């Protein structure tokens, strides 16, 4: 199966807009779970996890598919929202309540998020961008500060 280029995937995600991205995520979650990530578990070369956060307003569990990078036991995610003006809800939820659950394939893990700063942020951004170059384009599209989160295992 041919892998679409990052540029094609980036243009597609931008064309969806914020509402389209939310709708695509709602479709992605049950398919990912049913197939344990074998379907919709990658965007180009970048792997996808399901991130469940607690809604900062609703206090309900919310699940979103998110590209990630594995760094030892830690996972890295970027709240780009395809460069839309607002951060994705999951990123705002993590800032309000940093405890979350991730699903990778059929495995669930309890995690705690922190925001990467300074040199660490730059290093992680570059590593994520090496996996999916669309992040650099998303950064150019928006004036907001795109958060880079490190998800660490809860002990």
Q: Confidence band (pLDDT; 50, 70, 90) for 137?
A: confident
pLDDT confidence tier of residue 20, bands split at 50, 70 and 90:
low
Residue 2: predicted pLDDT: 42
Domain segments of the chain as ranges: 6-153
> Phi and psi (nearest 5°) for 125?
-60, -45
Joined together, the tokens standing for residue 138 give: 């998303």
pLDDT tens digits, one per residue of 94-132: 999 999 999 999 999 999 999 999 999 999 999 999 998
Kindly indicate the confidence band of residue 48, based on its pLDDT and cuts at 50, 70 and 90.
very high
Domain 6-153 has CATH 2.60.40.1760: no
Give the separation between CA 53 and CA 38, rounded to whole angstroms: 23
């Amino acid at each position: 199966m041919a892998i679409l280029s990052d540029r094609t995937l980036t243009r597609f995600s931008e064309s969806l807009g914020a509402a389209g991205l939310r709708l695509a995520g709602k479709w992605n979650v049950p398919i990912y779970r049913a197939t344990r990530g074998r379907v919709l578990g990658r965007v180009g070369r970048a792997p996808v996890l399901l991130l469940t956060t607690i809604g900062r307003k609703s206090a309900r569990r919310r699940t979103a598919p998110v590209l990630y990078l594995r760094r030892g036991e830690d996972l890295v995610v970027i709240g780009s929202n395809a460069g839309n003006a607002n951060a994705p809800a999951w990123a705002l939820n993590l800032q309000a309540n940093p405890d979350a659950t991730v699903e990778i394939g059929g495995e669930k893990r309890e995690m705690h998020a922190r925001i990467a700063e300074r040199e660490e942020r730059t290093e992680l951004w570059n590593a994520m961008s090496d996996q999916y170059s669309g992040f650099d384009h998303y950064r150019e599209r928006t004036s907001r500060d795109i958060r880079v989160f490190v998800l660490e295992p809860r002990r």
